[in-house]
Structure 1
């Protein structure tokens, strides 16, 4: 939750569940929503998926949409590389490219359109 990227690999090396969830969602969802690129990279590198699926978990929270809302291009790229659907919509029915456009994130729209969406 605090993005301590040096502690996360230590915990994961001790067989901590990368997809553990609490009322805020999964670590991947939280890191994407807060623009924490390094933590997203570490979690994806350790196989974050299941309830932390890049397209969203059972609660409807979608890291890809969250990353678009924050506008962190590196996280969007990581999630696309991890298999996130570039056409997934957020809770308001908007695609990430639409969220980026609404937030006047030209670079984000350019990068996003390169994903083939």
Structure 2
């Protein structure tokens, strides 16, 4: 992964560019730990050649994973780096777009007023 610090103060700003076939989540988490980052914001755009995304199933108390083995654009990748017992860990939310749109339903899941039903 390539990276560059583009702003030093008052808050540091870094640009990260994972290499092809690198695990972006692992690379971002590894970078945060190597740099000793505390609680931080993450904002990104780009593309993945393959990805695993998912949504939280409150009933099962687990994540439903969706594997995609084709190019997908990342319209938005947001959230934070939180500090836990294992050190800084990236917690990210992605808005991917696939040309075939097969994951459109997964991207449209939300929780209405805690009722636990998917939005359609």
Give TM-score scaled by structure 2 length: 0.28
Higher strand proportion, which one?
A: 2
Larger radius of gyration: 2
* Larger fraction in helix: 1
The TM-score normalised by the length of structure 1 is 0.29
